[in-house]
Amino acid sequence: MLPYGEWILLITCLIAWAEKLALRRFLFWLSLTWVGGKIVEGLIAYTPLHWNVARLAVLVVFFGGAWRRSPKRLLSLIVPSVVLVAEVLLVANEPGIIPLEHWLFLGALFLTAWLASRSYWGMAAAVGGSLLFKEGFSLLVYGGLFRHQDVPDPFFWHAGAVGILLFGLTKPLLELKKESIEGSLSERVPVAVLGRDGEPDV
């Protein structure tokens, strides 16, 4: 699988610095965390679990930063975590019983995170925190069953990064569309009031 999550982090960081966005320092620290995690990975001896320390560290730092900026509703963290715990239990006990189960639970994760928080940073904190909780739950309860798995789960890492980026782009795109609509309406108003020849319509 292509490293979509890493590319999204890098490109977003570069755009933020080029445009001097307010989040550029936060994204810089996320990128620096990823580099540090890669260095630590090279120092870790072989383990049965495939620890992706860089991704795990980015998740921890991202969750901390998002939690600081969110309304800190505990419910927004609990509900998505329950969704992912259900996914772990289903995969462990009845794998393949539901078609496209990973995509189904991914959609449920973002839906519950948004409904429980109703804010971007609340949703981002809920997604990041629930992914960390999922990994901890999997290792503690089914550690022997999930041997040789990647930590964190590559599917949820990449799909989570794409989902958080899309949610982040939704608001500015809607505002841009609203401004363009208002601009086009303001251009039409003089024509409607004055008429096509520049004289008032009677």
Residue 123, amino acid: M
* pLDDT surpassing 70 at residue 197: no
pLDDT in tens, 15-44: 888 878 788 888 889 889 999 988 888 777
Q: What is the mean pLDDT of residues 117-121?
A: 86
* pLDDT surpassing 70 at residue 129: yes
pLDDT band at 184 (very low <50, low <70, confident <90, very high): low
CA 127 – CA 31 distance, rounded (Å): 19
Mean pLDDT, the chain, rounded, equals 79
Confidence (pLDDT) at 192: 43
Structure tokens at 73: 């509703």
Confidence (pLDDT) at 189: 46
* pLDDT surpassing 80 at residue 190: no
Q: Map residue 111 onto helix, strand or coil.
A: helix
Contacts of 130 (CB under 8 A, 6+ apart): 77, 80, 81, 83, 84, 109, 113
Highest mean pLDDT among 69-83, 117-131, 161-175: 117-131
Cβ-based neighbour number of residue 116 at 10 Å: 18
CB 131 within 8 A of CB 164: no
pLDDT in tens, 45-94: 666 667 888 899 999 999 999 998 888 778 888 889 999 988 888 877 77
CA 63 – CA 59 distance, rounded (Å): 6
CA-based angle 117:100:118, to the nearest 5?
Answer: 10
* Residue that the structure tokens 């490293």 belong to: 3
CA 32 – CA 15 distance, rounded (Å): 16
Confidence (pLDDT) at 131: 93
CA 34 – CA 72 distance, rounded (Å): 25
Model pTM?
A: 0.78
Give the single-character DSSP code of 45: P
**Is there a cis peptide before residue 154, judged by omega within 30 degrees of 0?**
no
Structure-model confidence comparison of residues 36 and 95, the more confident one = 36
* pLDDT surpassing 80 at residue 141: no
pLDDT band at 153 (very low <50, low <70, confident <90, very high): confident
Q: Taking the domains of the chain in order of start, what are their residue ranges?
A: 4-170
Query: Is the Cα torsion angle 196, 199, 200, 202 positive or negative in sign?
Result: negative
* Residue that the structure tokens 């608001």 belong to: 171
* pLDDT surpassing 90 at residue 177: no
Confidence (pLDDT) at 128: 92
